[in-house]
């Protein structure tokens, strides 16, 4: 069932890491990482190129582009 769960890359410029996170968990994972490692600073984020793509897709999914 989890086969169609898309994964999105999260990049952290300070840790110099790039991690694939399932879409459902990505917001939590980013929050947790920034909380635990960066004292709450928003350092880690979804790869900006992907985020744009996702935003388009989510917008399409919820009908914003109709």
Q: Which residues bind Zn ion (CB under 5 A)?
A: 12, 14-15, 37, 44
User: What spatial distance separates the first Cα and last Cα of the chain, rounded to whole Å?
Assistant: 30
Specify the residue, 37 or 54, whose C-beta has the smaller distance to Zn ion. Answer: 37
**Phi-psi label, residue 16: left if phi above 0, alpha if psi -120 to 50, beta otherwise:** left
Task: Tell me how far, at minimum, the Cβ of 22 lies from Zn ion, in Å.
Answer: 19
Task: Tell me how far, at minimum, the Cβ of 25 lies from Zn ion, in Å.
Answer: 16
Give the phi and the psi of residue 56 in degrees, each rounded to 5: -60, -45
CA distance 35 to 49: 23
Task: Tell me how far, at minimum, the Cβ of 24 lies from Zn ion, in Å.
Answer: 21
Specify the residue, 8 or 44, whose C-beta has the smaller distance to Zn ion. Answer: 44
């Amino acid at each position: 069932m989890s086969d169609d769960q898309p994964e999105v890359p999260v990049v952290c410029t300070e840790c110099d890491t790039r991690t694939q996170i399932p879409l459902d968990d990505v917001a939590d994972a980013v929050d947790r990482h920034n909380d635990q490692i960066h004292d709450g600073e928003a350092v880690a984020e979804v790869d900006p190129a992907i985020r744009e793509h996702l935003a388009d897709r989510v917008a399409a999914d919820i009908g914003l582009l109709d």
